[in-house]
């Protein structure tokens, strides 16, 4: 039994040693291949894209600065566009509320005047007299005030 046991151990030892040797050979081959690949990659990089000259580096910096300026301009334009949209919406809301109150809209005052005052006597089914709206001119801003507002808007 001892003899059989020793034989099995020897057989296993041989197989283990063969596996270890094979693994070490594979690791060494892998190292050589990686070194070769690194060298080829370096040569290819140098052949395809050598180092940039100082003029090319300066040009790349200029391009980066220009991109920042354009990005800043775009951000500012977006902010102004947003403000414009908000002001436009508020102006329309104010106009609609002014129309409901019979006040000024687009430089014109709307006044309610009954048809009886105009000379017509027709009445609606409910017996009330229809209402006619008459437009009257409204005072406008002076030229100096308009110039101040326009210059402020052009700055924005």
Which tokens sit at 112? Answer: 């309610």
Whether the per-residue pLDDT at 56 is higher than 70: the answer is yes
Q: How far apart are CA 96 and CA 79, in angstroms?
A: 26
> How many alpha carbons lie under 13 Å from residue 65 in its C-beta half-sphere?
6
pTM exceeds 0.75, yes or no? no
Residue (of 113, 83, 108) closest to 98 by Cα position:
108
Whether the per-residue pLDDT at 141 is higher than 80: the answer is no
What rounded mean pLDDT belongs to the chain?
A: 77
In the chain, where the domains are located: 1-50, 51-101, 105-156
Continuous segment of H or E residues that includes residue 148: helix 143-155
Whether the per-residue pLDDT at 133 is higher than 60: the answer is no
| Residue 154 confidence (pLDDT) | 79
pLDDT tens for 68-101 read 999 999 999 999 999 999 999 988 888 887 776 5
Q: Choose the most confident range, by mean pLDDT, from 4-8, 15-19, 143-147.
A: 15-19
Q: How far apart are CA 82 and CA 80, in angstroms?
A: 5
Q: How far is CA 82 from CA 85, 95, 110, 148, in A?
A: 5, 20, 31, 22
């Amino acid at each position: 039994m001892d003899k059989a046991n020793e034989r099995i151990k020897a057989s296993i030892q041989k197989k283990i040693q063969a596996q270890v040797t094979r693994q070490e050979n594979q690791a060494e081959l892998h190292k050589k291949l990686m070194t070769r690949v690194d060298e080829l990659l370096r040569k290819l990089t140098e052949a395809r894209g050598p180092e940039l000259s100082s003029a090319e580096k300066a040009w790349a910096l200029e391009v980066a600065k220009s991109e920042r300026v354009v990005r800043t301009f775009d951000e500012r334009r977006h902010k102004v566009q947003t403000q414009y949209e908000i002001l436009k919406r508020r102006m329309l809301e104010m106009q609609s509320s002014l129309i409901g109150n019979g006040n000024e809209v687009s430089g014109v005052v709307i006044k309610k005047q009954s048809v009886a005052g105009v000379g017509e006597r027709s009445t609606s089914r409910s017996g009330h007299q229809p209402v006619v709206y008459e437009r009257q001119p409204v005072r406008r801003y002076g030229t100096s005030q308009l110039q101040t507002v326009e210059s402020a808007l052009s700055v924005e």
